[in-house]
């Protein structure tokens, strides 16, 4: 099938972004608009329609074959229905696939944004050519997507690869998901800031960091400037991420793991302890073959993955 | 393809058992012999050959199309090579597939025994008709096998579904696998006995149980006879198993989990706390749909799964 052109859309809490993507994975037209949550579901859906049309127009291409949407979960990828995304309250229960297919007169697939990022990375980024691949996004939460035998994995009702919600300490803090001691409670950007604050207050360490307005970027800059406490917080976060990746690889047996999102930008500060713990705790015969790398596509991963996923219905 | 007949072999540390299995999953001939580890690898392999031929003879069937072997891991299922099974020291590095194919002049597949049990259960037992299924065996260790989209999952080098080696407490005891706080360190039969002994010595609880010669069967019988401490040990083991299953379902999104092995025989003593914790900690939208059931095929699961897997090379 040559000359397949699909549009990938990344539905975020702030912006909706679309890209028209060619056979070879090039984004040849882009469009974005604010996600108008304040105006309700119809306005948000209309924004997505505008983005698809805008991307096609910008590319000067009138014929596209399908549209893929990456949206925050939980959602039902088989029916294309959003369930209860935390940052998109007005979209709960919206039958996105149905509505967009009616508006665009094109086949539409809807999937989890973390899945779409993983698929994008596997197609054109850090997972290129790797049939057993996982992408872990360290942001406000910890999301993930996972490809096995070259196929994006969904499980029985589309909720596979919720990698942020494996337990690393059954006695740990309650997670909004209902579980305790989830990986997300330790290694998301939000969790790293919370844990740093808790230590600042409980232990009064010698550090230039202050609780007010604390961000992972500030912790990173302090660590780079020689702040030992800040460096320790990265060490500890990397340690716990390594612990989580050992569990995941022991079950999924993926060959490459890409780390994406803000925290992954900290480079060796996070990768060094993560890889070290992974090698200390991983299984002999497996760990030596597993690569833990940085994601390669940045913000485009989701758009490219959604466009790639749309090809499954062409 | 009608009238496919394959032989499934279960290579254990004590016995080697084989069954000739028909299209419909009936075992129509059986053979077993002691696994002669004392005589070395060649004798063990010869025992497997004898079992295959013995099962065919007992069935009165001369023509079989392929043979499947379930063997203790770690092993390489793609090459059919045993790597370093703990209870089969003399078999390390043995190219089982190659040797058996030469001896039998038939196609042979070799896979992990826990995988074969899972495949057997999915074909004819507790996972029948369930495309996203996991079987967890609670024995000396904690093994597992997992079927997604109806396919047995292997990962990149055949070590997927090592479900006993997910972390439930990163600060927990060292596991022989190199990881700390693995599920296996809490919910295998061995671990349950060890934890019970530790508590008997540290806490001197009121109980009829004694450290010497302690078994899970003894703990079960005491619990049934009204021993509160023994009942509590099942409660605690079920709790930790539930914690582990939450992590596994959050990643694998399987719809049904079958529990096999000695501990699963304890029935509601183990199932009740396991299911309760699973419902307390699992993810809304998933947990309501997941069934945690008892495996259905007993010792035949491995033979049936291996025979089923052999059909993939017919």
Domain spans of chain A?
Answer: 6-119+300-313, 128-294
**Domains A6-119+300-313 and A128-294 in one fold:** yes
pTM for this predicted structure: 0.96
Mean pLDDT of A268-280: 98
Q: Does B33 touch chain A (CB under 8 A)?
A: no
Q: Are A55 and A7 in contact (CB under 8 A)?
A: yes
- Average pLDDT over chain B reads 96
Which of A166, A180, A283 is opposite residue B250, by nearest beta carbon? Answer: A166
Q: Does B83 touch chain A (CB under 8 A)?
A: yes
| CA–CA gap between residue A293 and residue A20 (Å, rounded) | 27
Which chain A residues are closer than 8 Å to B169 by Cβ?
168-171
Residues of B in contact with A148 (CB under 8 A): 148, 153, 155
A to B CB pairs, distance under 8 Å: 156
Residue A182: pLDDT band with limits 50, 70, 90: very high
Q: Do A250 and B74 touch (CB under 8 A)?
A: no
Question: What average pLDDT does the segment B286-300 reach?
Answer: 97
> Contact A224/A266 with Cβ under 8 angstroms?
no
Reported confidence tier of residue A84, pLDDT bands at 50, 70, 90 = confident
Percentage of chain B exceeding pLDDT 70: 99
Minimal Cα–Cα distance from A279 to chain B, Å? 9
Range B78-86 contact pairs with CB under 8 angstroms and sequence separation of 24 or more:
B78/B154, B78/B157, B78/B158, B80/B108, B80/B109, B80/B110, B81/B110, B82/B110, B83/A285, B84/A285, B86/B176
User: So what's the pLDDT on residue B297?
Assistant: 97
What would the mean pLDDT of A88-105 be, rounded to a whole number?
A: 96
Q: Which residues of A touch B154 (CB under 8 A)?
A: 253
Q: In the predicted model, what is the mean pLDDT of residues B31-57? A: 97
Please list, residue by residue across B258-293, b when 16 or more beta carbons sit within 10 angstroms of its beta carbon and e when fewer do.
Answer: bbbbbbbbbeebbbebbbebbeebbbebbbeebebb
Q: How many CA atoms lie within 13 A of B149 on its CB side?
A: 10
CB A159 within 8 A of CB B285: yes
Residues in chain B with CB shorter than 8 Å from the CB of A289 are 156-157
Do A72 and A87 meet the contact criterion of CB atoms below 8 Å apart?
Answer: yes
Helix (H, G, I), strand (E, B) or coil at A203: helix
Q: How far apart are CA A73 and CA A159, in angstroms?
A: 9
pLDDT tens-digit series, residues B69-126: 999 988 999 999 999 888 899 999 999 999 999 999 999 999 999 999 999 999 999 9
- Residue B1 pLDDT > 50, yes or no? no
* pLDDT above 90: residue B254: yes
A306 has a pLDDT exceeding 60: yes
Q: Is the pLDDT of residue B313 over 70?
A: yes
Mean pLDDT of A188-207: 96
- Residue A238 in tokens: 């990397």
- B147 is written with which tokens? 């079927």
CB of B252 within 8 Å of any CB in chain A? Answer: yes
What percentage of chain B carries pLDDT values higher than 90? 96
- Rounded to whole angstroms, the maximal C-alpha distance in chain B is 63
B116 torsion bin: left (phi>0), alpha (psi -120 to 50), beta (else) = alpha
State the average pLDDT for chain A: 96
CB contact under 8 A, A248 and B251: yes
Q: Which residue of B has its CA nearest to A176?
A: B283
| C-alpha dist (Å) from residue A273 to A53, A136, A216, A266, A292 | 45, 16, 16, 12, 11
Q: If DSSP codes are grouped into helix, strand and coil, which group holds residue B100?
A: helix
Interchain proximity B283–A159, CB inside 8 Å: yes
* DSSP SS3 for B233: helix
Tell me how close the Cα of B285 comes to any Cα of chain A, in angstroms: 8
- Closest by Cβ to A243, choosing from B163, B170, B244: B170
Contacts of A219 (CB under 8 A, 6+ apart): A192, A193, A196, A209, A230, A233, A234
Measured distance CA(B173)–CA(B169) in Å, rounded: 9
Beta-bridge mates of residue B68:
B8, B109
For residue A74, whether the previous peptide bond is cis, meaning omega lies within 30 degrees of 0, is yes
CA angle A204, A208, A210 (to 5 degrees): 65
CB A189 within 8 A of CB A264: no
Supply the CATH classification number for the domain B128-294.
Answer: 3.30.420.40
Would you call B250 and A159 a contact, using CB atoms and an 8 Å cutoff?
yes
Across the interface, whether the CB atoms of B157 and A255 are under 8 A apart is answered yes
Residue B283, token pair as written in the block:
């993810």
Do B162 and B252 form a contact (C-beta atoms < 8 A)? no
How many other CB atoms sit within 10 Å of the CB of residue B87? 12
B147/A contact by beta carbon, under 8 A: no
CB contact under 8 A, A283 and B165: yes
E strand segments, chain A: 6-11, 15-21, 27-34, 66-71, 75-76, 81-82, 108-112, 133-138, 142-148, 151-152, 256-260, 291-294
Q: In this structure, which topology does domain A6-119+300-313 adopt according to CATH?
A: Nucleotidyltransferase; domain 5 (3.30.420)
For residue B30, count other CB atoms closer than 10 A to its CB.
16
Neighbour count for residue A38 (Cβ, 10 Å): 9
Residue-wise pLDDT for B130-139, tens only, equals: 999 999 999 9
Three-state DSSP at A42 gives helix
**Reported confidence tier of residue B147, pLDDT bands at 50, 70, 90:** very high
- pLDDT-derived band at A2, boundaries 50, 70, 90: low
A82 touches chain B (CB under 8 A): no
Whole-angstrom distance, CA of residue B128 vs CA of residue B147: 11
Residue A1 has pLDDT above 60, yes or no: no
Q: What CA–CA distance (Å, rounded) separates B124 from B305?
A: 9
* Residues A164 and B282: beta-carbon distance below 8 Å: no
Listed by number, the residues of chain B in 201-240 with a beta carbon closer than 8 Å to a beta carbon of chain A are 240
Dist CA A239 CA A257 (whole Å): 16
Is the pLDDT reported for residue B232 higher than 80? yes
């Amino acid at each position: 099938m040559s000359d397949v052109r699909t549009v990938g859309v990344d539905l975020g809490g702030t912006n909706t972004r679309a890209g028209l993507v060619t056979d070879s994975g090039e984004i040849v037209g882009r469009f974005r608009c604010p996600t108008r949550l304040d105006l309700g579901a119809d306005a948000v859906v209309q924004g997505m329609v505008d983005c698809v049309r805008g991307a096609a127009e910008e590319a000067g291409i009138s014929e596209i074959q399908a549209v893929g949407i990456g949206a925050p979960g939980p959602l039902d990828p088989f029916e294309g229905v959003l369930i209860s995304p935390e940052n998109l309250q007005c979209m709960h229960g919206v039958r996105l696939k149905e509505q967009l297919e009616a508006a665009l007169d094109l086949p539409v697939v809807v999937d989890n944004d973390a899945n779409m990022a993983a698929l994008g990375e596997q197609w054109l980024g850090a997972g290129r050519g790797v049939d057993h691949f996982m992408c872990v996004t360290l942001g406000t939460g910890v999301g993930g997507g996972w490809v096995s035998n070259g196929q994006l994995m969904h499980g029985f009702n589309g909720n596979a690869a919720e990698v942020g919600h494996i337990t690393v300490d059954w006695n740990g803090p309650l997670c909004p998901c209902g579980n305790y001691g989830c990986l997300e409670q330790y290694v998301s950007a939000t969790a790293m800031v919370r844990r740093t604050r808790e230590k600042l207050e409980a232990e009064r360490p010698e550090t230039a960091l202050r609780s007010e307005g604390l961000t992972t970027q500030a912790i990173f800059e302090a660590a780079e400037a020689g702040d030992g406490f800040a460096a320790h917080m990265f060490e500890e976060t990397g340690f716990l991420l390594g612990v989580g990746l050992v569990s995941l690889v022991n079950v999924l047996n993926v060959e490459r793991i890409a780390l994406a999102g803000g925290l992954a930008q900290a480079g060796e500060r996070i990768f060094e302890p993560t890889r070290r713990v992974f090698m200390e705790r991983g299984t002999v015969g497996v760990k030596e073959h597993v690569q833990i790398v940085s994601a390669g596509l940045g913000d485009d991963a989701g758009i490219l993955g959604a466009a790639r996923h749309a090809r499954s219905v062409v």
